[in-house]
Chain A
Amino acid sequence: MDSTALLEIEDLEVTVEGRKILNGLRLSVPRGQVHAIMGPNGSGKSTLAHVLAGRPGYEVTGGRVRYAGKDLLSLAPEERARAGLFLGFQYPVEIPGVNNVYLLKAALNAARTAQGQPEVDAFDFLALVREKMRLMRMEDSFLSRGVNEGFSGGEKKRNEILQMLVLEPTLAILDETDSGLDIDALKIVAAGINTLRSPARSTVLVTHYQRLLEHVVPDAVHVLSRGRIVRSGGAELARELERRGYDWVSGEAA
Chain B
Amino acid sequence: MSALLERIAGEAGAAQQGLPHRDARRRALEALTRQGLPSARDENWRYANLRSLERQRFTPASGMVPASLELPPALPGFTRCVFVDGHFDRARSAAPGPPLAAAALERTLRQGPDERFSLLNAALAAEVARVKVAAGTERVEFLFVASAPAGAGASYPRLEVEVEPGAGLELIERHLSAGSEGGFVTSAVEVHLAAGAHCTHYRVQDLNPRSILFDTLGARLDADAHYRLHALHTGGQAARSTLALTLGGERARVDLAVAALGERSQVQDTYARVEHAARATRTHQLFRGIAAGRSRVAFNGKIVVAHSAADADSQQSLRGLLAGPEAEIDVRPQLEIYTDAVRCSHGASVGKLDEQMLFYLLARGLARESALRLLKWAFLEDVIAGIGQPALRRQLEARLARLLPEAAPEELP
Q: What's the A-B contact tally at a CB cutoff of 8 Å?
A: 82
Flag B337-368 by CB within 8 Å of A: 1 or 0 each.
00000000000000000111101111111111
Is A77 engaged at the interface, CB distance under 8 Å to the other chain?
A: yes
Is B64 engaged at the interface, CB distance under 8 Å to the other chain?
A: no
Flag A153-177 by CB within 8 Å of B: 1 or 0 each.
0000000000100010000000000
Cβ of A110 and Cβ of B360 under 8 Å apart? Answer: no
Cβ of B357 and Cβ of A111 under 8 Å apart? Answer: no
Complexed CA–CA distance, A161 and B243 (Å): 48
Of B357, B364, B367, B375, the most chain A CB neighbours within 10 A belong to B364
Among candidates A80, A102, A114, residue contacting B413 with C-beta atoms closer than 8 Å: A102
Among candidates B356, B366, B378, B413, residue contacting A110 with C-beta atoms closer than 8 Å: B366
Measured between beta carbons, the chain A residues less than 8 angstroms from B357 are 93, 95
Is A42 engaged at the interface, CB distance under 8 Å to the other chain?
A: no
Cβ of A110 and Cβ of B367 under 8 Å apart? Answer: yes
Name the residue on A nearest B376 (C-beta).
Answer: A97
Among candidates B355, B360, B374, residue contacting A89 with C-beta atoms closer than 8 Å: B360
Cβ of A103 and Cβ of B359 under 8 Å apart? Answer: no
Among candidates A87, A97, A98, A101, residue contacting B363 with C-beta atoms closer than 8 Å: A87
Tell me, rounded to whole Å, the shortest Cβ–Cβ distance linking B386 to chain A: 13
Measured between beta carbons, the chain B residues less than 8 angstroms from A76 are 362, 368
Is B4 engaged at the interface, CB distance under 8 Å to the other chain?
A: no
Is B15 engaged at the interface, CB distance under 8 Å to the other chain?
A: no
Name the residue on B nearest A148 (C-beta).
Answer: B360
Cβ of A103 and Cβ of B381 under 8 Å apart? Answer: no
Cβ of A107 and Cβ of B356 under 8 Å apart? Answer: no
Tell me, rounded to whole Å, the shortest Cβ–Cβ distance linking B122 to chain A: 41
Is B74 engaged at the interface, CB distance under 8 Å to the other chain?
A: no
Cβ of A92 and Cβ of B359 under 8 Å apart? Answer: no
Cβ of A78 and Cβ of B375 under 8 Å apart? Answer: no
Is A63 engaged at the interface, CB distance under 8 Å to the other chain?
A: no
Q: Which of B360-413 contact A (CB under 8 A)?
A: 360-368, 370-371, 374-375, 377-382, 411-413
Cβ of B359 and Cβ of A95 under 8 Å apart? Answer: no
Cβ of B378 and Cβ of A98 under 8 Å apart? Answer: yes
Contact-size category for A: 20 to 34
Cβ of A103 and Cβ of B361 under 8 Å apart? Answer: yes
Measured between beta carbons, the chain A residues less than 8 angstroms from B412 are 102
Measured between beta carbons, the chain B residues less than 8 angstroms from A97 are 377-382, 413
Tell me, rounded to whole Å, the shortest Cβ–Cβ distance linking B355 to chain A: 7
- Contacts A93-B357, A111-B365; is A98 near B370 (CB within 8 Å)? no
Is A99 engaged at the interface, CB distance under 8 Å to the other chain?
A: yes
Cβ of A107 and Cβ of B355 under 8 Å apart? Answer: no
Complexed CA–CA distance, A98 and B377 (Å): 8
Measured between beta carbons, the chain B residues less than 8 angstroms from A92 are 360
Flag B143-160 by CB within 8 Å of A: 1 or 0 each.
000000000000000000
Is A199 engaged at the interface, CB distance under 8 Å to the other chain?
A: no
Complexed CA–CA distance, A99 and B407 (Å): 14
Name the residue on A nearest B407 (C-beta).
Answer: A106
Cβ of A56 and Cβ of B359 under 8 Å apart? Answer: yes
Of B355, B365, B367, B380, the most chain A CB neighbours within 10 A belong to B365
Complexed CA–CA distance, A98 and B358 (Å): 12
Complexed CA–CA distance, A72 and B399 (Å): 39
Complexed CA–CA distance, A69 and B362 (Å): 22
Cβ of A107 and Cβ of B364 under 8 Å apart? Answer: yes
Complexed CA–CA distance, A82 and B366 (Å): 8
Measured between beta carbons, the chain B residues less than 8 angstroms from A89 are 360, 363
Tell me, rounded to whole Å, the shortest Cβ–Cβ distance linking B368 to chain A: 6
Measured between beta carbons, the chain B residues less than 8 angstroms from A78 are 362-363, 365-368, 371
Measured between beta carbons, the chain A residues less than 8 angstroms from B370 are 106
Is A218 engaged at the interface, CB distance under 8 Å to the other chain?
A: no
Complexed CA–CA distance, A97 and B381 (Å): 5
30 A-B residue pairs with CB within 8 Å: A53-B363, A54-B362, A54-B363, A56-B355, A76-B368, A77-B362, A77-B363, A81-B362, A81-B365, A89-B360, A93-B354, A93-B356, A93-B359, A93-B360, A96-B378, A97-B378, A98-B361, A98-B374, A98-B377, A99-B413, A101-B413, A102-B374, A106-B364, A106-B366, A106-B370, A107-B366, A110-B367, A111-B365, A114-B365, A167-B365
**Residues of B at under 8 Å CB distance from A?**
354-357, 359-368, 370-371, 374-375, 377-382, 411-413
**Residues of A at under 8 Å CB distance from B?**
53-56, 76-78, 80-82, 87, 89, 92-93, 95-99, 101-103, 106-107, 110-111, 114, 146-147, 163, 167
Given A77-B363, A95-B375, A101-B413: 6 more A-B contacts, CB < 8 Å: A77-B359, A78-B367, A93-B356, A98-B378, A110-B364, A111-B365
